[in-house]
Amino acid sequence: MNDVVKLTTFVTDVNEWIETRAANNAVFEEMFDGNYPTNTLIGCAALIRPSLKIDIETTCVF
């Protein structure tokens, strides 16, 4: 995870993402040990499967 420099997070419900911000931040804290990559949040109408609510694309530098 130290190689991750950017995340692009696609969500189908931006309001839900905002409402669960504390839980989302807890996951980021666990995964990145406080050294957070840039993260862009994009709201979208749908993802590839109707049951999905979130998709996270990562960019890494080795």
* Predicted structure pTM score: 0.85
Q: Which range marks the domain in which residue 40 is found?
A: 4-60
Q: How far is CA 60 from the centre of its chain?
A: 14
Mean pLDDT of 20-37: 89
Query: Does residue 48 surpass a pLDDT of 90?
Result: yes
Average pLDDT over the chain, rounded to an integer? 94
Which CATH number is 55's domain given? 3.30.1330.40
3-class secondary structure per residue, 12-52: CCHHHHHHCHHHHHHHHHHHHCCCCCEEEEEECCCCCCCCC
How many Å apart are CA 62 and CA 1, to the nearest integer? 11
| DSSP code at position 61 | -
Q: What percent of the chain has pLDDT over 90?
A: 84
Number of independent structural domains in the chain: 1
Q: How confident is the model at residue 34 (pLDDT cuts 50, 70, 90)?
A: confident
Amino acid at 8: T
- What does the pLDDT average to over 11-29? 94
Are 61 and 29 in contact by the 8 Å Cβ rule? The answer is no
